[in-house]
Amino acid sequence: MSDELPGLDVGAITDWLPAHTGLRAPFTFDLIAAGGSNLTYRVTDAAGTVVALRRPPVTAVLATAHDVGREFRILTALHTHTDVPVPTPLAECTDPGVTGGPFYVMDFVEGTILRTPDDSAPLTPDQHRRAADSLVDVQIAFHALDVDAAGLGDLARTRTDYVARQLRRWKAQVDDGRVREQPVLDAVHATLAASVPPDSGPPGLVHGDYRFDNTVLGPDGSVAAVLDWELATIGDPAADVAWSLCYWSDPGDTACFIDTSPTLDPAFPRRAEVVARYTARGDRDWSGLPWLEAFSWWKMGCIVEGVHARRLKGARGGASQSDPQTIAGRADAYLDRAAALVAALA
């Protein structure tokens, strides 16, 4: 293993891949920028076939946060039993002796991933519109899946009270990896836990981090594949929608999940139009969206605080290497935004 290829024993992986996937050595490996979560590699074999390999971070893995085996199972179920666009899962390794942790391999879906307005600039007006509509429509589609028919009915021990479960889960993960005092995080959690709204309607499959950055767009601009299912479970689709909407930044927004959101491109519709497309479908109770927005900012603060803690402990979650102080400041900004939104609910 090396600093350039953390978590990969190249020799062992080179032996494993031909035996389990039919790919041919030699291989080239490239670490894909993947934030503070699972490590993702682009792997190219001797014939030029490209696949993706995913494994947990090398160190400081939080319980339930980096379960690639669960993610492989979800991909397999969606690919086999539904029309949700996902990469084809190819093989899974549960033996940590191969490369220091479990991993899986899937097809590498070629296409466009929108991370910044520069990424979306080459799109035509039709592609911009199709991308926006498809992003919404694909999420609506997987929210409406029959999870039992898809073989995913046991993803969650209980299907109701999703937000309350999320509050407990993320607070527990922060506490488990805590490296500093976070009074704002704790205070917002206490307020949210005392005011959880009822579920918006029937539970469904929720992705947990659905946005342009976790999808691949095809040539016409529509979603060709949904990636990064590690946080998926059964829960309240309205909470999943609220989380996704926090990524949809409008020009002039003073607080953004991502400062360089692709939706800052003026060719995309504005957030209010996207909200209208979501809420026009079905008979859900959308009155809890303001509360769910506050919860989403708190949850993002918890996630980034976890990245901060793991970075202090030496973990790498992708090619980007922000310093711990910058990550900590980002977590504080998310939590301060959550506190302001909670105060506005009173």
Residue 325 has pLDDT above 80, yes or no: yes
Q: What is the average per-residue pLDDT within 40-45?
A: 96
Q: What pTM did the predictor assign?
A: 0.89
Residue 320 has pLDDT above 90, yes or no: no
Could you give the CA distance from residue 17 to residue 19 in angstroms, rounded to a whole number? 5
Q: Measured in Å, how far apart are the chain's first and last C-alpha atoms?
A: 52
- For the ranges 36-40, 140-144, 173-177, 229-233, the one whose mean pLDDT is highest: 140-144
Q: What is the average per-residue pLDDT within 95-120?
A: 95
CATH architecture of 117-345: Alpha-Beta Complex (3.90)
Could you give the CA distance from residue 260 to residue 8 in angstroms, rounded to a whole number? 31
Could you give the CA distance from residue 73 to residue 81 in angstroms, rounded to a whole number? 12
User: What DSSP state is assigned to residue 330?
Assistant: H
Residue 59 binned pLDDT confidence (cut-offs 50, 70, 90): low
Fold exhibited by the domain 10-107: Phosphorylase Kinase; domain 1 (3.30.200)
pLDDT of 190-229, one tens digit each? 999 999 999 999 999 999 999 999 999 999 999 999 999 9
Mean per-residue pLDDT over the chain, rounded: 91
Could you give the CA distance from residue 58 to residue 54 in angstroms, rounded to a whole number? 12
φ, ψ for residue 89 (rounded to 5)?
Answer: -70, 140
- Cα→Cα distances 181→62, 216, 283, 336, Å: 18, 38, 42, 15
Q: What is the average per-residue pLDDT within 224-245?
A: 95
Tell me the torsion sign for CA atoms 21, 219, 231, 182.
Answer: positive
pLDDT of 262-318, one tens digit each? 999 999 999 999 999 999 987 899 999 999 999 999 999 998 998 888 888 876 544
Encoded tokens for 79: 């690919």
- Cα→Cα distances 111→21, 190, 217, Å: 23, 43, 5
Q: What is the average per-residue pLDDT within 230-242?
A: 95
φ, ψ for residue 292 (rounded to 5)?
Answer: -65, -30
Tally of residues, the chain: 346
Find out whether 201 and 283 touch, Cβ atoms under 8 Å. Answer: yes
- Strand pairing report for 223-226 and 28-32: unpaired
Q: Which residues contact 333 (CB under 8 A, 6 or more apart)?
A: 255
Longest dimension (CA), the chain: 61
Q: What is the average per-residue pLDDT within 94-111?
A: 95
Which pLDDT score is estimated for 99?
A: 92
- DSSP count for the chain of H helices, then E strands: 10, 9
Does residue 203 have a cis peptide bond before it, meaning omega lies within 30 degrees of 0? no
Which pLDDT score is estimated for 323?
A: 85
Q: Of 314, 320, 269, 298, nearest to 136 (Cα)?
A: 269
Encoded tokens for 65: 């946060």
Which pLDDT score is estimated for 321?
A: 59
- Comparing 1 with 14, the larger pLDDT belongs to 14
Amino acid at 220: D
User: Would you list the domain boundaries of the chain?
Assistant: 10-107, 117-345
Rounded to the nearest 5 percent, the helix, strand and coil shares of the chain are 40, 10, 45
Which pLDDT score is estimated for 63?
A: 45
Find out whether 74 and 232 touch, Cβ atoms under 8 Å. Answer: yes
- Tokens 């949809």 belong to residue: 248
- Comparing 31 with 322, the larger pLDDT belongs to 31
User: What DSSP state is assigned to residue 264?
Assistant: G
- Report the 3 state secondary structure along 156-214: CCCCCCHHHHHHHHHHHHHHHCCCCCCHHHHHHHHHHHCCCCCCCCCCEEECCCCCHHH
- Tokens 């109770």 belong to residue: 285
Residue 35 has pLDDT above 50, yes or no: no
Find out whether 104 and 91 touch, Cβ atoms under 8 Å. Answer: yes
- Comparing 133 with 37, the larger pLDDT belongs to 133
